[in-house]
Amino acid sequence: MNMNPTKPYLIRSIYDWCIDSGFTPFVSVKADPKLDVPQECVRNGEIIFNISARAVQGLNINNESITFSARFNGISRNLDIPLDAVKGVFAKEVNQGIAFTSDDEEAQDKISNKQSNNSTQDSLILQTKASSKPKLRIIK
């Protein structure tokens, strides 16, 4: 059975929540050099787009990408952002939303979590052995 990725559904749901709540939806994108985005807006390797209806035209969030048209310094641009580049989507006013990890980060997290779980289990076993003294009571 082919399972659809959850990322596009989560992005659409946070976007809908923002609109329904009267918040401004923002999307954070990893500014890859291959990605055609306004480079003057890139900060620390990421760019954040306001994707509200007032800021963009023709917004489409499908299972592969986010596409829209927006103005940057008075120049209209059509953008096609692959979902792999999306780092998160959030409401500007309350800074709530969802952040995504990349596949590389996810693999590293799994490795480090497994290692930390093993060391945590080992330390718990040692603590249990060290602190578990026998307790005897006299019962009459």
Give me the tens of pLDDT residue by residue for the chain, a chain 140 residues long. Answer: 788 889 999 999 999 999 999 999 999 999 888 888 888 888 999 999 999 999 999 999 999 999 999 998 888 999 999 999 999 999 999 999 999 986 544 444 444 444 445 555 555 555 544 455 556 667 66
In a shared domain, residues 11 and 79: yes
In a shared domain, residues 45 and 110: no
In a shared domain, residues 91 and 116: no
In a shared domain, residues 64 and 89: yes
Residues 39, 67, 13: CA angle, nearest 5 degrees? 115
User: Has residue 137 been placed in a domain?
Assistant: no
In a shared domain, residues 35 and 23: yes
DSSP state of 17: H
What the block records as the tokens of 95 is 């800074």
Q: Residue 122: which domain range?
A: 102-130
pTM equals 0.70
72, 38 Cβ separation under 8 angstroms: yes
